[in-house]
Amino acid sequence: MTATPTPGAKLLTPHDHTLILIDFQSQMSFATKSIDAVNLRNNAALISNGARGFGVSTILTTVAEKSFSGPMFSEITDAFPGQTLFDRTSMNTWEDSAVIEEVNRIGKTRIVLAGLWTGVCIVGPALSAIDQGFEVFVIADACGDVSDEAHNRAMDRMVQAGAQPMTSLQYLLELQRDWARTQTYDMTTGIAKKFGGAYGLGIIYAKSMFGASEGH
């Protein structure tokens, strides 16, 4: 066996998956207790801006937007100005024909999911997509549920079925993956500075104090 300096096939790239952002809406967030609203909105913004910057195929979907659940978080829609939002009646996104038509139009075999609530609106499409042969990833800290127990058991259920868990910052940095990729370096670090919490503060400090750059 010989090692080579090549990335593993299990790693995500910007153009090998579809990101589906599900039900990031006010009514859904009111009862979310497994993550506080500030972190949830921040992580939603981080992955949305990352996906937009790297040109990731992204589907935005809501449930009962006008009649019950309210608009999608502006942190997401601001990253995708003018993009169509698919409004559903089904709790399981994978049972909505318009969304599935868009999944098929895009044609990617990898699906990355994030949204509210983990145990209903993320479990549904995750298990359904896996059942149909798709490779599924779930951004755990860009999901939330009515309790820690509800979120954790939902993540367990999806992982046991074959879904791969990850985090918001992990998602962004996996898309960049090499600081020598100068065309996306400023964008990635800019998103991290704005939405990356303590990591972002570290970038601000290093660049402000001594002009640091990861690529050199």
- Residue range 127-186, pLDDT digits in tens: 999 999 999 999 999 999 999 999 999 999 999 999 999 999 999 999 999 999 999 999
Tokens in use for 137? 């990833």
* Alpha helix stretches (DSSP H) within the chain: 26-30, 37-54, 74-77, 97-106, 123-131, 148-161, 168-176, 182-195, 197-210
Angle at which helices 37-54 and 182-195 pack, to 10 degrees?
170
Measured in degrees and rounded to the nearest 5, phi and psi for residue 206 equal -60, -40
pTM here is: 0.95
pLDDT, tens digit (0-9, with 9 covering 90-100), for 22-38: 999 999 999 999 999 99
- DSSP, collapsed to helix, strand or coil, labels residue 20 as strand
What tokens were used for 26?
């006010």
Mean pLDDT in residue range 200-207: 79
What order of strands is seen across the sheet that includes strand 85-88? Answer: 85-88, 57-63, 17-22, 110-116, 135-144, 164-166
Active-site pick, 19, 46, 76, 121: 121
Per the annotation, the verdict on 121 as an active-site residue is yes
Return phi, psi of residue 142, to 5°.
-115, 25
The owner of tokens 């997401």 is: 76
Q: Look at residue 92 in the predicted model and tell me its pLDDT.
A: 98
**Maximum C-alpha span of the chain:** 59
Q: 212 by DSSP, 3-state: which?
A: coil
